[in-house]
Amino acid sequence: KQEVTQIPAALSVPEGENLVLNCSFTDSAIYNLQWFRQDPGKGLTSLLLIQSSQREQTSGRLNASLDKSSGRSTLYIAASQPGDSATYLCAVYRGGGADGLTFGKGTHLIIQP
C-alpha cells in the first residue's frame, strides 16, 4: 500500500526566506506526482505536476523536483510572501485510472510579515 509522508508537518518563517518542503513515498511505481495548495476551509489548488519521467517542474517562484527511485520530491519556494501561507499537500498517482491520488497529511506553512 502506498504511503506518503510530508516533513515538516508545520513551518513558520519570516517573509523573504527561501524554503523547502519535503515529500516521500513508499512505492516508486508512480505515474505522476502533484503538489497542491489548500487554504483553510477551501478546496485544493494544483501548483505543479511532475510526470514520472521528469526530474523537475517550475512555475514562477515554485520549483518541484522528483527522484522516483528514492521515493522523494521537494517543493522549493523562493522569496516567500505572506500570501504563501497555506497547507501544502503532496500526492502521487499510480496510473491506470485506479485508486485516485494518495496524499500526505500536508505541511502547514506560515509566512510571518
Instruction: Kindly tell me which of 45 and 58 has the beta carbon lying closer to other proteins.
Output: 45
Instruction: Kindly tell me which of 20 and 31 has the beta carbon lying closer to other proteins.
Output: 31
Instruction: Kindly tell me which of 42 and 55 has the beta carbon lying closer to other proteins.
Output: 42
Map the footprint of other proteins across residues 74-103, applying CB under 8 A. Answer: 89, 91, 93, 95, 97-103
Please compute, for residue 90, the number of CA atoms within 13 A of its CA located in the half-sphere on the CB side.
28
Residue 18 makes CB contacts below 8 A (sequence gap 6+) with 76, 77, 78, 79, 80
Size of the site for other proteins (CB under 8 A): 27
Strand 62-67, strand 86-93: pairing: unpaired
The grid coordinates listed for 36 are 497542491
Applying CB under 8 A, the residues found at the interface with other proteins are: 4, 31-32, 34, 36, 41-46, 49, 51, 89, 91, 93, 95, 97-106
